[in-house]
Structure 1
Amino acid sequence: MSIKRLEKFQSYNMNLVDLQQQQALKRYIARSSERERIASELQTKNPLEVDTPERVTLRKAIIDPRDGLAIERIIGQDDLFPISYLEAGLQAARPVCRIEIRDRIGRVLGHATGFLVSPSLLLTNNHVLENYDSAQFSRAQFNYEVDLDLKERPMKTFRLTPERLFITDQKLDFTLVAIEDMSADGAKVSDFGFLPLIPQTGKGLVGEYVSIIQHPSGAPKAVAIRENQIMDVFDDYIHYSTDTMPGSSGSPVYNDEWIVICLHHAGVPDPKDAAKFIANEGIRISSIIQFVVEQSANLGEDQKLLINDIVKGWEVQGPTTEEMVVEELSDSWYEGSTGYDTQFLGDDYEVPHPIFRSDLEQDVAQLKDGSNVLHYTHFSIVMSKSRRLAYYTVVNIDGNQLRKIGRNDKWYLDSRIEIEYQCGPELYKNNPLDRGHLVRRLDPVWGDSAERANKDTFHFTNCAPQQSKLNQKTWLDLENYILDNAENSNLKVTVFTGPVFRMDDIIYRGVQIPAEFWKIAVIVKKDGNLSATAYLQTQKNLIEDLEFAFGEYKTYQVPISKIEETTGLDFEDLRNYDPINQLESTIGYVIDAPEDIKL
C-alpha cells in the first residue's frame, strides 16, 4: 500500500470513528434531563430501586447465590469481593485479544481489541473490521500481556476467516467474524476460551460499576476495574465513565460477575473541548444478539452451525422453563372481575367486542358456566377451542393511573375454562419460543387494582408462542407511542390484540404456531372523534406492492378491513374511524419507527 493509500485509509477510519462519536454525543445530549433525574435518584436510592423491575429481576437471577456480598456491592454499600474474583477476571481476560489491522501486503494500519464469543467466532467493532477484505488480511493476537516480571508473554497470532462467517453492521458498530482453529505455530484458539453472551436485558443496572479489559493504543492487555459507573441505558447503547484509549475499540465491558454487558465502541466528546471526553459508549450485547439472530435466517447451514455455538445454553440463563411455577387460582379470585369496559373511552364512544364470522362461532371456547368471554382486571379474552390460544384480547389502558409493579414469576392456568383449551407449560419447555403476553403486562396495571391486574396477565390464556425473530421492541413501542400521543386529556386507549390463525401455520408439539400478530388501538382525538389504527406484524408476504424480505418480521400499519379479512372478526363501525380506511385492504405502511404511525 502506498503512503497515499495508507493516508486515505486512516482518514476514512478517523471519519467513521468521528461519526460514531458525534452520534454518541447526540444521544448523550438528548437524554441530559433524564440522566440528571437518574443521578439525583441515585443520591438517595440504589441501582436496584432506580432501574426497571424487569432488568432488576434478570440482574438478580445471574448472581451466584454463594456470593453473599453481591447485592451489597451493587447497591454501593460494600466493595468486598471473594478472592476468587481476581481469578475469574484472569479467566475473563484470556479470550480478549489485540487486533492488528493489516492491508493485503501485510502492512500494519492500526490496532484495536476483540474477544472470542464462541470457540470459532470473534467480536469487535465495524469501524475496526468494516468489510470482508479488512477481516481477511488482519490478525488476532492473543496472550499479548506482561507477566509478573513485566516481561511480554509469548504472543499467539491467528488469521481471521471471513469466508466461513462475516456479519457486520455500521449502525450497531459491530463485526462478528470466524477465526481459524489453529495458528501457524500450532497453538489452538480453543485454549483461550470464550466469553458467553446472554441475550436478556438487565445485565448491568444504571448506577452499577463495571470493568473493561482492553489493549489501549495497541499496548499489552490492561484492565480498568470498577472505577466506571453506568450513567445511562438506551435501547441499543450504554453510557458509562470508563478509562479507555485509542485501541480500546472492540473491548468487552463486564459487570461484577465478569459477564459481558456491552461492546465498547466510542467516546462521547466534550462539546466544549474536542480533546476531552465526558463519557464512553458501548453497544448492548442484547441488541447485537438480536441482530445476529435475525440475520441467521439468511445464512447457509455451516454458518448457522457457527451461530449455534453462540446460542448454546441461552435457555438456562435466568429462570428456566423447568423452574417456572405453574398454578391455578381459586374460583374466588375471579369473582367481581368485570374485564374490558366497552364505554371506557366515554359514554359517547362505545367500542364493543368484535363479531365472529359465522363459520368461526362454533370454535369459540365456552367457559364452564356457558359464557364465552374470560374477564380479568381491565381486560378480557376470547379463546379458540381448536388452536388453544386467544382469538383476541382487549384491554383498557389509563395512562394517568399507570403504576410500576414488579413481575410475577408464577404462571396460571384458568380454572374457569377446560385445560384442553389452554396451551400450558408443555408447549414452552426446552425451546426458544417466547411466552409472549398478548395483553402487555404493563397495560392494565393501573389504579387501585394494579397488582391484581399484573397477576392476571400471567395467565396462559393471555400467552402466545412467539418465534425469536419477532421484533418485540417495535411491536411494544406502538402502544407507548399511541398512549404518549393521545390528544385527549384523559390519555385513555383501548387495544385489541391477537394472533393470525392460518391453515399453513407450522405444527409444533401438537400446536399450530402463529406466524403473525395483529393489533388495533382506539383513542379519542382532540376534535372529539375516534381514531382507530390497525397493525400487522408478519414474516409472510401478505401485503402487496411492498418490498418484503421473507423470513424477517416487519410491522405494517394496515386498514382495519385488512385485519377483519385476515381474522374473520368484524369490528363494525371502527373502520369508519381509521385514517387509512380509504386505501385498498391489501396495502399498508411499513412501521420502522413509532413516528411512522398515521393517527
Structure 2
Amino acid sequence: MSDPYLPQEDVQRLKDTALEQGLADPMMRRLLFTGILPKYVGALPVLPAPGPQVLSDLNSMNRVERLIDGTVPLAVWLRNAVDQLTDAAARDIYQEALDQVVRDAAGEPDVAPDVPTGETKEEIIFRDDTVPFAFLSAGALAGSSVARVKVLPYQGGALLQPLALPHNGTGWLIAPGLLVTNHHVVNARSRTEGARQVVDETDLKLQATGSRSRFDYLTEDDPDVQEIPGAELLAWDEKLDYAVLRLADTAPKTYLRVATEPLVVTKDVPVAVNIIQHPGGEPKRIALRNNLVFEADEQDVRYFTDTRGGSSGSPVMTDDWTVVALHRGTRRVTDVSFQGKSTAFVNVGTQLSAVMRHLREHAPQVHDEITAAQAALNGHP
C-alpha cells in the first residue's frame, strides 16, 4: 500500500509497549503471527535482538494493505497481541491501534464530528432488560439472512493490478434475493491519504456481480459453506452509504423485516440495538451487550454496540429483530460517557427509513419490490 496504516510514532509506542509487556519475547513471535499466511511470515527479516525484531515486524506489516487471502496482517497481529495482554493500559494502546487499522482497511468513510457536547448516559437500574426466551430463536432466524460479503476490486474493466485483494464486509437480505450492504463495501477501496477512491460505475457493477456472499459461515473449520455470487447491482448511494444487489437464485428465501419510520430516541427511554455481523471477514458474531443507542436523527443512528472492521453493512436491529439502520462505521465524539467511562467513539448507521426514501425517489422499481416483500412478511397481500 502507498500509505502506512499507522504513523511511525504509534509503531514506536507499540514496540515499546511490547518490550514492557513481554510481547517481544522470541517465544511469543509465532503466537502473534497466528492466522497470518506462513509464506508471508517466512519472508519477514529475522533479527537477533527482540526490540529491533518487533519494530521490523511492525514496520513490515504496516506497509502491507492486505494479503492474497484478504487478511490484513497488522490487524491480525494486533488482535493476537490484545488477547495476550492483561495490563489495562497496554491493552488500550493496542486496541486503539487495532481499531484504527481495521477502520482504514475496511475503507469506512470519515464523518465529521457533530455530536453535541455535554451529554452523558446514566446508569439504567429501573428498567427491565429481560426479553422473552423466544428472542433467541428469532435471532437465530434473523441471522440466517446475514452474510459475509467478499468483493474483489476492478479497474478499467479488469481485476485491479498487480494484485486484486478481496475486501470483506457484511450484508443481509431485505427481500428474496436482494442483499443490502454498504456502498463502501462494494466500492472495495481502502482509504488512502485521508480519502477513499470511488470507482466508476462500470467497475462498481463488475465488483457487485463478482461478489460472493456466505450466509452459513458460522465456524472457521466449515469447508462446505456455499458462496453465492452477485447477479446485478440494482441501486446505491455513496452519501447514505448503501447498495442493493440481486443475488443468484440460490440465495436463502428468508429475509429481514425493516422499519418504515426513523428510529426515535428520547433521553429517558433507552433503546437497545443488536448487530449480527462478520467482523474481519470472520465467522458470524452477534453484539447483544453494551448496545444502547446514543442518539438518532432523520438520517443516522448512533450507538454503543460493538463492531469491528468487516462489520460494515450489518443490520442494526431492535429487540424484535426489525432492522432500523444499516451499520456503516464509527464516529469520533467528545464529552460522551457510557457506563461511567469516557468514550472517544460511537458507532453509526444509516436509518433504513432514509434508505427506503432514497430508493423510492431514485430506484422506484427496487423500492416497490422491497415493499411488496415486506408486506408479505407482515401478513399483508
TM range (shorter): 0.5 to 0.7
Q: For 2:185, what is the secondary structure of its paired residue?
A: coil
Q: How does 1:86-165 map to 2 (within 5 A)?
A: 86-103=136-153, 104-105=158-159, 107-130=164-187, 131-146=204-219, 151-152=221-222, 154-162=224-232, 165=233
Aligned residue pairs, count: 253
CA 1:210/1:204 → structure 2, altered by over 3 Å: closer, same or farther?
farther
More relative contact order, 1 or 2 (CA 8 Å, 6+ apart): 2
CA distance in 1, matches of 2:299, 2:317: 16
- Report Cα offsets for 1:384-440 as digits up to 9, x if no partner: xxxxxxxxxxxxxxxxxxxxxxxxxxxxxxxxxxxxxxxxxxxxxx99xxxxxxxxx
Report deviation, 1:174. Answer: 0.6
Number of the residue aligned with 1:510: none
CA 1:315/1:87 → structure 2, altered by over 3 Å: closer, same or farther?
closer
CA contact (8 A) 2:275 2:288 kept: yes
- Report Cα offsets for 1:273-303 as digits up to 9, x if no partner: xxx8521000000000000011134xxxxxx
Q: How does 1:161-560 map to 2 (within 5 A)?
A: 161-162=231-232, 165-182=233-250, 189-191=251-253, 193-202=254-263, 207-269=270-332, 277-297=344-364, 304=365, 306-312=366-372
TM-score by length of 1: 0.38
Give the greater-gyration-radius structure (CA).
1
CA 1:230/1:118 → structure 2, altered by over 3 Å: closer, same or farther?
same
Report deviation, 1:152. Answer: 3.0
Report deviation, 1:177. Answer: 1.3
AA in 1 matched with 2:178: L
CA 1:203/1:255 → structure 2, altered by over 3 Å: closer, same or farther?
farther
Report deviation, 1:268. Answer: 1.4
CA contact (8 A) 1:112 1:218 kept: yes
Residue identity over aligned pairs, in percent, reads 27
CA distance in 1, matches of 2:106, 2:249: 31
Q: For 1:32, what is the secondary structure of its paired residue?
A: coil
CA 1:190/1:313 → structure 2, altered by over 3 Å: closer, same or farther?
closer
Report deviation, 1:107. Answer: 4.2
Number of the residue aligned with 1:80: 130
CA 1:204/1:91 → structure 2, altered by over 3 Å: closer, same or farther?
farther
CA 1:219/1:317 → structure 2, altered by over 3 Å: closer, same or farther?
closer
Q: For 2:252, what is the secondary structure of its paired residue?
A: helix
Report deviation, 1:234. Answer: 1.8
CA contact (8 A) 1:196 1:310 kept: no
Alignment RMSD:
3.6
- Report Cα offsets for 1:103-141 as digits up to 9, x if no partner: 455944221101011102110001111321221222111
CA 1:226/1:255 → structure 2, altered by over 3 Å: closer, same or farther?
farther
CA distance in 2, matches of 1:76, 1:309: 43
CA distance in 2, matches of 1:245, 1:316: 33
Q: For 2:370, what is the secondary structure of its paired residue?
A: helix
CA distance in 2, matches of 1:110, 1:202: 30
CA contact (8 A) 1:198 1:317 kept: no
1:27 to 110, 114, 117: 114
CA distance in 1, matches of 2:223, 2:344: 32
Number of the residue aligned with 2:76: none
Number of the residue aligned with 2:52: none
AA in 1 matched with 2:114: R
- Report Cα offsets for 1:229-269 as digits up to 9, x if no partner: 11111220011001111000001111110111101001113
- Report Cα offsets for 1:490-546 as digits up to 9, x if no partner: xxxxxxxxxxxxxxxxxxxxxxxxxxxxxxxxxxxxxxxxxxxxxxxxxxxxxxxxx
AA in 2 matched with 1:292: L
Q: How does 1:45-64 map to 2 (within 5 A)?
A: none
Q: For 2:361, what is the secondary structure of its paired residue?
A: helix
Number of the residue aligned with 1:577: none
CA distance in 2, matches of 1:271, 1:202: 23
CA distance in 2, matches of 1:317, 1:141: 23
CA distance in 2, matches of 1:245, 1:108: 19
Structure with greater helix percent: 2
Report deviation, 1:201. Answer: 2.4
Name structure 2 gaps, 5 residues minimum. Answer: 1-63, 67-71, 73-100, 188-203, 336-342
CA 1:153/1:210 → structure 2, altered by over 3 Å: closer, same or farther?
farther
Report deviation, 1:204. Answer: 6.3
CA 1:317/1:286 → structure 2, altered by over 3 Å: closer, same or farther?
farther
CA distance in 2, matches of 1:128, 1:101: 7
CA contact (8 A) 1:88 1:258 kept: yes
Name structure 1 gaps, 5 residues minimum. Answer: 1-5, 47-74, 183-188, 298-303, 321-429, 432-599
